[in-house]
Structure 1
């Protein structure tokens, strides 16, 4: 016959088991209460604390305040306490012309939206615009401003193209020339077209020095005739294609590339 002392669990062990059961029950009840509270908050909060006003601040030229208000309103879920500000900010920044947006709560029922629109420096390829920071955005047809220079290249090279454009624009303005277009092809070859109609081929190497060579010779070239293309892809000189009315003698004196080795 078994010893009863060995079968009956000690009092301390029974208390521990009961204590563990109560703790598990209390934990379950707390979790259930929290879940119910979250559900009730999500269900009733938009009605108890609704967003009644969406105020838009910022200098807007291409998007109206009404469009931004409608965009935020369509994306809004919840009231003033539970509105997802990060998601609302993203909704505003998804608009083509919006560069940066911030959204904040203003008690008791207002969302304050501050917006900065992109400021295009130039057109980018066929359908885009690019900012001075090299940010490419595509606002859609019919909304590209007229009169901007054209920059062309792969999107990933936009910051580099913008940097060169700004530098070369300032250098060329010193001799009275403006850039109409600037492009770099997939091989890395640079080409500049000036407003006066001259195309400059700079190649892939030493492009800053080659442009400086053109700038130093521009006055002499223009005095000699009307250049259409200046190919600077040579080690020490350049080749010139002249307009039909250019003087043959001037053409011969400036076509120094025939005596120079060609480079990329």
Structure 2
């Protein structure tokens, strides 16, 4: 029996070689090529003796791959079906994050262009994503797009808009503070070009204006307004 098993292991890759590795699923070109290389390098044995579990693990170890399955297709091929992570935004300086708050780091040269930037500790990724989705929709109603959303180690939130405005929300009552900006945005923009809106006040906010902005108009938020020209 031992001799028969040895002969099978010796001859099976020659009699039933894997000639084709078929990659299936919605993949971008970089992932498809890397997956082909990875499976080819990891493959040991022929069609019957190939370790499908090991090949599945090898595929799922790739940064872009969320899930993979491998099956034998008679007479000479393996089919690898892959589901990729779909990035919602860039994450910090070197990663991407999905709609589910999953952070992955695919390496340089493979980050899609045009994505917003989210920043924070990896453990807070889902929270940051959820706030981004909510605030993105709220700000779009007044014609603003989020370029960067970040939370620092102290829990202070900042939003950078595509128009160049920075919103400082602090650590408390951040929903109310963002709502205060949204309610006053039209008046602020009528006054000039705000650069920084500091909303860390109980009933108002401070504004840093672009040089040459008309300071004759003052926005109103709740009962008090602070408007500062800081350079």
Q: Same fold (TM over 0.5)?
A: yes
* Partner residue of 2:190 out of 200, 214, 223: 223
CA–CA distance in 2 between the matches of 1:170 and 1:37? 67
Cα deviations by residue, 1:19-65 (Å, 9 ceiling, x for unpaired)? xxxxxxxxxxxxxx5x6665454344333433222111122224264
Q: Which residue of 2 aligns with 1:240?
A: 207
| Pair 1:106 & 2:43 matched | no
Matches within 5 A, 1:1-264: 33=1, 38-63=5-30, 65-251=32-218, 256=224
Is the contact between residue 102 and residue 125 of structure 2 (CA under 8 Å) also seen in structure 1?
yes
Report how far residue 246 of structure 1 moved.
2.4
Give the number of aligned pairs: 225
Q: What's the secondary structure of 1:175's corresponding residue?
A: coil
TM-score (norm 1): 0.77
| Structure whose CA Rg is larger | 1
Q: What's the secondary structure of 2:62's corresponding residue?
A: coil
Cα deviations by residue, 1:203-245 (Å, 9 ceiling, x for unpaired)? 1122112111111111111112221111111222211112222
Specify whether residues 165 and 101 from structure 1 end up closer, same or farther in structure 2 by C-alpha distance, changes over 3 A only: same
CA–CA distance in 2 between the matches of 1:76 and 1:92? 11
Specify whether residues 109 and 252 from structure 1 end up closer, same or farther in structure 2 by C-alpha distance, changes over 3 A only: closer
Report how far residue 173 of structure 1 moved.
0.3
Q: Which runs of 5+ in 1 are unaligned?
A: 1-32, 259-264
Report how far residue 107 of structure 1 moved.
2.6
CA–CA distance in 2 between the matches of 1:240 and 1:189? 18
Is the contact between residue 64 and residue 106 of structure 2 (CA under 8 Å) also seen in structure 1?
yes
CA–CA distance in 1 between the matches of 2:141 and 2:124? 26
Q: What's the secondary structure of 2:44's corresponding residue?
A: coil
Is the contact between residue 240 and residue 251 of structure 1 (CA under 8 Å) also seen in structure 2?
no
CA–CA distance in 2 between the matches of 1:139 and 1:101? 17
Q: RCO (CA 8 Å, sep 6+): is it higher in 1 or 2?
A: 2
- Computed over aligned residues only, the root mean square deviation of the Cα atoms, in angstroms, reads 2.3
Q: Which runs of 5+ in 2 are unaligned?
A: 227-231
CA–CA distance in 1 between the matches of 2:33 and 2:201? 57
CA–CA distance in 2 between the matches of 1:206 and 1:199? 17
Cα deviations by residue, 1:97-123 (Å, 9 ceiling, x for unpaired)? 223221112233221111223222111
Moved over 6 A (4+): 252-255
Specify whether residues 79 and 54 from structure 1 end up closer, same or farther in structure 2 by C-alpha distance, changes over 3 A only: same
